[in-house]
Amino acid sequence: MLAITAKTLLTPVDAINDPLLLIDDSTIAEIASRASRALPKCRTVDFGDAVLAPGLIDIHMHGAAGSDVMQSDPSTFSNIERFLSTHGVTSYLPTTVTAPVDATLAALERLAARIESPSDRTSARPLGIHLEGPFISHARRGVHPPEDLIPPSIQVFERFWQASRGQIRMITIAPELDGALELIAEAIRREVCVSLGHSDADLASTRAAVRAGAHHATHTFNAMRPLGHRDPGIIGEVLSNSAMSADIIADGIHVDPAVVKIFLSAKGPDATVLITDATAATGMPDGRYQLGSLNIEVKDGRCLANGVLAGSVLMLDRAVRNVMEFGSWELRHAVQAATLNPARTTGLNGVGQLAAGCRADIVVMSPSGEVANTIVGGKIFQAGATA
């Protein structure tokens, strides 16, 4: 048994002052206030004036620390996962980028193998795959290679599904494409989160996709038909439909801070999801890196391919601090957008919250959102070592 104490604990929907959190192996056994529960005789770690919060969850990231999730080198994943843990991330969805079908199939097989590998790792864990492309709009493809985009197809999706051994947890799709509604319905049947993105959809097409089961939006505003006051399009539905959750890249580059504030006001603490769209360049110096099969160049915090934004170098703890600044959100709401909300959106159970029976994935933060320590599966993570 391990006892953890600190000044505050965020569940994240509630705050507990002077908490006592008991960990049995890799699971949270009990959470109480120290005023109501005596400290048991076991190893105790006191984090002083820090805040305990659920481990952060990134549902859209392509790589970090010089490694890309679609690369074949086995060291790719350990590099990424150690780096993520230094920034409070304990779970993530490795995200593909559009590539030839055979290359995507091979990447899905490798990702599935990583997800299914022994779970005693003491750094961030992949809990499923986010398939971004190839079922997206040519008009809003961003940097996704146009020659590799294909119309939505249940048959092709089935090939992806088999290669991933059922580990696809999220798919980004453009709802206006022929065949999209049928694929959305099939993905929903398989309990895959369908997210609308890389889309030029009008309002009617977007609403048809929502009726078919889509309930989320991918990097809102980016690679989307712009909002018009007489042509609201996909963004009009995303911002006005309270039943939809939506994610955003809150780095101040992809979306202006003033527009991030509008988004936060529209979606609120319960429907906002923070993502990074991080690339292999994240945590690395300026230079050239890979995003799937694409060459990207990073300079002054911008990832570009042929002059177009291509992912980011954002980390999720920075996104938490940014929405505290951009939207004047309190830490609890910002943390919820990076923990409970992404878990609920993608159907991840036992993570994203601090409660008895949940996995002991915990980030130790300052009141301003700076990461001090990360606890992964009940083990305190430190760069290069665990204790």
| Strand ranges in 26-183 using DSSP code E only, listed in sequence order | 27-33, 43-46, 51-54, 56-61, 63-64, 67-68, 89-94, 125-126, 129-132, 168-173
Q: Is 232 helix (H, G, I), strand (E, B) or coil?
A: coil
- 258 CB neighbour count, 10 Å cutoff: 9
For residues 196 and 207, is the Cβ–Cβ distance under 8 A?
no
Q: CA–CA distance from 101 to each of 112, 114, 151, 218, 340 (Å)?
A: 16, 20, 12, 22, 33
DSSP 3-state assignment of 344? helix
270 in active site: no
Q: Which listed residue (148, 200, 202, 277) is catalytic?
A: 277
CA pair distance 96, 133, nearest whole angstrom = 7
Cα separation, 375 vs 381, in Å, equals 6
Q: What is the DSSP letter of 329?
A: -
Residue 55 carries which DSSP code?
P
CA distance 298 to 83: 18
Name residue, tokens 């805040």: 51
Residue 191 structure tokens: 């309990």
Distance between CA 226 and CA 241 in Å, rounded?
17
Q: Please, what is the angle between helix 101-116 and helix 154-163, to 10°?
A: 40
The pairing of beta strand 216-217 with beta strand 193-196: parallel
**Cβ neighbourhood burial of 365 (10 Å; 0-12, 13-18, 19+):** buried
Q: Are 160 and 105 in contact (CB under 8 A)?
A: yes
- Active site (catalytic) residues: 277
